[in-house]
Amino acid sequence: MPHADAPLYQALADELRGAMHDGRLAAGARLPSVREAARTRGLSINTVLAAYRQLEAGGLVEARPQSGYFVRSRLASPSAPRFAPASSRARAAESAVLTRIPRVIAAQADPDTIDLSLACPKGGDFYPGEKLSRLVADLARRRPALLTDYPLPPGPLVLRREIARHGLELGMELEPDDIVLTNGCMEALQLALRAVTRPGDTIAIESPTYFSLIPLADRLGLKAIELPTHPESGMSLDALELLLSEKRLQAIVAMPTVHNPLGTSMPVAAKRRLAELANDYRVPVIEDALYAELQFATPLAPVAKAFDRDGWVIVCASYSKTLAPGFRIGWMEGGRFRDELAAIKFSSSVSQPALLGEALGRYLDSGGYAQHLRRLRRTYAAQIDRLRGLIDAAFPPGTLATQPTGGFLVWVELPRGCDADRLFDAALAQRISITPGTMYSPSGRYTRHIRLSGCYPFTDRHIHALMTLGGLATRQLETA
């Protein structure tokens, strides 16, 4: 209750603080604009600003340029992973992970299941589908040869030119002739690994890592060494340098900008060091930059490729998360491995569909992409805040969650006594799909972690599913 003699700004700050404490102002909620609050409460703009800035200084709200003030989540972030020595059961754990992945994918494909962790935005809220469909129809009508002529590399110049132009926003100086178009980012990662490794080689991966890397490395006959990856500092570069100095690695795979599943980014100084290690030790870094354009802060932080000196960083990306997942158009720039990558691409899938590539290039050239990205970043920033607020409300005390710097993924650490694999089974029985943390480690680590996604509209059905999931986690604790 605000004190009767408190200054007006203090009274307003105390009132809003109480509303946040009792849930009337949930995490992610937008405060009334300064002008609106001043008008409706009969206060001066300076009084409202003083109240909002006090709440901001206390970490309760955050100001977003051109958007206003938003309530911050109270969830703490997970700590750095601590690795015990590898056990003799590591291979058995990897086998269990490889077996579990198809089961999770099957659950995600079931239309009767509510998916709370799929990293694939769906619907017109997230993509310029109508504009792209008009471009495709117009090109098919005016240039039918795009449908009838066999597409050959290197693919539409307009697209490669636009990829190079937009790469400048991430600190990269790319040449259109050096860009190889791929079937999504996943093919780019596969081509990169095939170009720089041979069966029996060892690669360094982040831990947790993008789970599709695990079966990819397995099928290529590669051994993976997990390096602890902190939400705030990224992959342990000290551990990486030790491995490099011992000549134990043939390649490094990393997602330093908007990591999957953490949702966070490596500091720029660490990205610079990562690129320097690759160049100094002459061991390639395969950089997955799939989510890099979805950073919340502007200007965008540079990717590791921006600091590549001698071509030892291979950058891979696609437009599946920002523009058109159905197009399956990705790209890579391979530095000193360019020719080898182009040859492997040709032998595996020749080229990408010319019609779709031309349409995508023309959309990028139209100038609408920058506006679309700005809207998408604001949308996902709000979605992440809402998701963290719902996690805070639904999950048991002691739950931790990352504070993403971009994209739409949140890495959740459950309290001791919870088991992510058992939670997956219990949720699936309720027609709810999640991805357990054990999928993000070849050795089956992260038994108390799950990945949740905020790239879907928060309908009553989805909110109910999140609340149900949190209830299942709570019941696990009660019966532990």
pLDDT at residue 25 in the model: 85
87 band by pLDDT with thresholds 50, 70 and 90 = very low
Alpha-carbon span 85 to 363, nearest angstrom: 50
Tokens encoding 116: 């709370």
Which three-class secondary structure state does DSSP give residue 97?
helix
Cα 426 to Cα 424: distance, rounded to the nearest angstrom: 6
Q: Amino acid identity of 389?
A: G
Q: Using the CB atoms, write b or e for 407-416: b if 16+ within 10 Å.
A: bbbbbbbbbe
Residues of the chain with CATH 3.40.640.10: 129-370
What would be the CATH architecture of the domain defined by 90-124+374-479?
Alpha-Beta Complex (3.90)
- Please tell us whether the domain made up of 129-370 is placed in CATH 3.40.640.10: yes
DSSP 118-154: -----STTTS-HHHHHHHHHHHHHH-THHHHSPP-TT
Cα 182 from Cα 58, distance rounded (Å): 47
The single residue listed with the structure tokens 């579990």 is: 100
For residue 323, give the nearest of 146, 163, 145 by alpha carbon.
Answer: 163
For residue 158, pLDDT over 50 is answered with yes
Residue located via tokens 């058109």: 324
Cα(108)–Cα(77) distance, integer angstroms: 27
Distance CA 388, CA 403 (A): 8
- Of 51-60, 326-335, 390-399, give the lowest mean pLDDT range: 51-60
Per-residue confidence (pLDDT) for residue 60, from 0 to 100: 84
Task: Tell me how far apart the alpha carbons of residues 228 and 78 are, in angstroms, rounded to a whole number.
Answer: 13
Domain made up of 8-71: CATH architecture: Orthogonal Bundle (1.10)
pLDDT digits (tens, 9 = 90+) for 220-251: 999 999 999 999 999 999 999 999 999 999 99
What is 168-204 written as a DSSP string?
A: GGGT----GGGEEEEEHHHHHHHHHHHHH--TT-EEE
CA–CA dist 319, 299 (Å, integer): 20
Cα distance between residue 229 and residue 80, in whole Å: 7
Closest CA to 315 of 289, 348, 347: 289
d(CA 50, CA 385): 23
Q: Residues 311, 340: contact at Cβ < 8 Å?
A: no
Q: What CA–CA distance (Å, rounded) separates 414 from 146?
A: 51
User: How would residue 124 be classed by pLDDT, with cut points 50, 70 and 90?
Assistant: confident
**Mean pLDDT across 249-257:** 98
Write down the pLDDT at residue 111. Answer: 87
Contact 184, 163 (CB under 8 A): no
Q: Is the dihedral of CA 196, 199, 201, 203 positive or negative?
A: positive
* Residue 92: per-residue pLDDT: 60
Q: Shortest CA distance to 104 belongs to which of 424, 410, 412?
A: 424
Of residues 174 and 73, more confidence is placed in: 174
Strand-pair partners of 413: 400, 449
> If you ran DSSP here, which 8-state letter would residue 415 be given?
P
262 by Cβ neighbours in 10 Å (0-12 / 13-18 / 19+) ranks as: buried
- 3-state DSSP of 235-251: ECHHHHHHHHHCCCCCE
Q: What is the torsional sign of CA 121, 328, 288, 104?
A: positive
Q: Is residue 64 very low, low, confident or very high in pLDDT (cuts 50, 70, 90)?
A: confident
DSSP class of 302: P
What are the tokens at 460?
């009553």
| Mean pLDDT, rounded, for 29-55 | 92
- What is the C-alpha to C-alpha distance for residues 28 and 314, in angstroms, rounded to an integer? 37
Chain segment 407-421, per-residue pLDDT in tens? 999 999 999 999 999
CB 301 within 8 A of CB 211: no
Question: pLDDT grade, residue 46 (50/70/90)?
Answer: very high
From the CA atom positions of the chain, what is the Rg in Å? 24
Intervals of CATH 1.10.10.10 along the chain: 8-71
DSSP 211: T
The H-or-E segment that residue 389 falls in is helix 368-394
Share of the chain above pLDDT 90, in %: 77
Q: What is the pLDDT of residues 189-226, one digit of tens each?
A: 999 999 999 999 999 999 999 999 999 999 999 999 99
Q: According to the model, what pLDDT value does residue 79 have?
A: 72
